[in-house]
Amino acid sequence: MAYRLSATRLQTYRRCAQAYYWRYEKRLPGPAGFGGTALGTSLHRCLAQFHGDWDAQDPQPSRAWLAQCWHAIATDLNQEQQHEGWQLLETYYREQIQPQATWQRPLAIEGRIQATLVLEGIEFLVSGRYDRLDLREDGLHLVDYKSAKRLEPPRPEQIDVQLGLYQLALEQRYGQLKSLSLVHLRSGQAYCYGCTTQQREAVLAQIATLAQQIRSDQQWQPQVGEQCRSCGYRRYCPAVNAEAEPIPETITSSSDRRIQLSLAL
Ligand code: SF4
């Protein structure tokens, strides 16, 4: 079985090998994740239909088509959510659709990025998700919609890992990735990040380090720093807690990791 890898996993490993070990090797429950809200899910579905099913003979998708998609999808939301959602979509249309005179149907919508990669004799399954993949004259561009109240721009090191990993994953199937845009639906603003070969090389080096760690199975070292403040494992971590609790028995005994060590031919 290939070893699963995503941008979130690699970012965790970069921040602290000990936290990575507990979360992904031991599957020790950490802080609860943030599930998608009903409104956010409906907005994503609406935009998938809006971009994926519009009549591409028109130069750009119309506002009427956007309204039609929203009315069909927002039926399970209450009135307040329907109204709020439409306001966000109108902002998106005004800021993102109207300024561009001609549009093309995206290459893919709400897709899953998946690719295999062999490093240091270990087969990794790299995965991620995207909302829209556009093919323009200069190459591939990923677009992700964000519906949170406030969009904190990602830290440069976070975006570098994400872009490096996505380049590696997409090049096998589609070719060279040029950029990632995060579109904040509440403000209509887009934050665009360009891809570089340095991001790709840095991620390859990080995966190689992770592979060496997995193979050697030596101790996963804690890395004390700013990240400890929001770490969900503080209670178990002797590096920051003199009275650290032991890891629960059920976790310590159910940690078998099955990975495929690829044999070089
Ligand atoms: S508290 Fe800090 S050192 Fe301990 S696991 Fe979390 S991030 Fe790592």
What is the reported pLDDT for 216?
Answer: 80
What is the reported pLDDT for 30?
Answer: 66
Assess whether 151 and 130 both reside in one domain: yes
Domain with 90, as residue range(s), is 38-97
Nearest to 143 by CA among 131, 153, 126, 125: 131
What is the reported pLDDT for 37?
Answer: 76
Is 138 inside a domain boundary?
yes
Residue of minimum CA distance from atom 2 in ligand 1: 228
Check which CATH number belongs to the domain holding 127 and give it: 3.90.320.10
Is 258 inside a domain boundary?
no
Residue 175 contacts residue 140 (beta carbons within 8 Å): yes
- Range 167-177 average pLDDT: 88
| Helices 7-15 and 156-171, packing angle to 10 deg | 140
Is 216 inside a domain boundary?
no
Residue of minimum CA distance from atom 4 in ligand 1: 237
pLDDT, mean over the chain: 86
Domain boundary among 160, 189, 209: 209
What is the reported pLDDT for 150?
Answer: 80
Q: Residue 263 above 80 pLDDT?
A: no
What is the reported pLDDT for 33?
Answer: 38
Is 239 inside a domain boundary?
no
Assess whether 109 and 142 both reside in one domain: yes
Assess whether 136 and 118 both reside in one domain: yes
Assess whether 54 and 92 both reside in one domain: yes
Q: Where are the alpha helices (DSSP H) in the chain?
A: 7-15, 17-20, 38-52, 63-73, 79-92, 156-171, 197-216, 249-252
**Which ligand 1 atom sits closest to the C-alpha of 224?**
3
Encode pLDDT of 34-50 as tens digits. Answer: 334 789 989 999 999 99
Q: Is the shortest distance between the CB of 237 and ligand 1 below 6 Å?
A: yes
Assess whether 167 and 134 both reside in one domain: yes
Q: Is the shortest distance between the CB of 227 and ligand 1 below 6 Å?
A: yes
| 71: its two tokens | 């009315």
Q: Is the shortest distance between the CB of 240 and ligand 1 below 6 Å?
A: yes
Residue 177 contacts residue 142 (beta carbons within 8 Å): yes
Assess whether 173 and 202 both reside in one domain: yes
Assess whether 72 and 159 both reside in one domain: no
What is the reported pLDDT for 229?
Answer: 85
Assess whether 166 and 202 both reside in one domain: yes
* Cα 225 to middle of ligand 1, angstroms: 8
What is the reported pLDDT for 93?
Answer: 97
What is the reported pLDDT for 128?
Answer: 86
* Cα 259 to middle of ligand 1, angstroms: 25
Q: Is the shortest distance between the CB of 165 and ligand 1 below 6 Å?
A: no
Total domains in the fold of the chain? 2
Assess whether 88 and 164 both reside in one domain: no
What is the reported pLDDT for 257?
Answer: 53
What is the reported pLDDT for 252?
Answer: 60
Q: Is the shortest distance between the CB of 247 and ligand 1 below 6 Å?
A: no
Q: Residue 195 above 80 pLDDT?
A: yes
Is 261 inside a domain boundary?
no
pLDDT band at 251 (very low <50, low <70, confident <90, very high): low
The contacts of residue 179 (CB under 8 Å, 6+ apart) are 141, 142, 192, 193, 194, 195
Encode pLDDT of 82-128 as tens digits. Answer: 999 999 999 999 999 999 999 999 999 988 888 898 888 889 998 88
Assess whether 114 and 135 both reside in one domain: yes
What is the reported pLDDT for 32?
Answer: 40
- Range 168-195 average pLDDT: 91
Residue 114 contacts residue 169 (beta carbons within 8 Å): yes
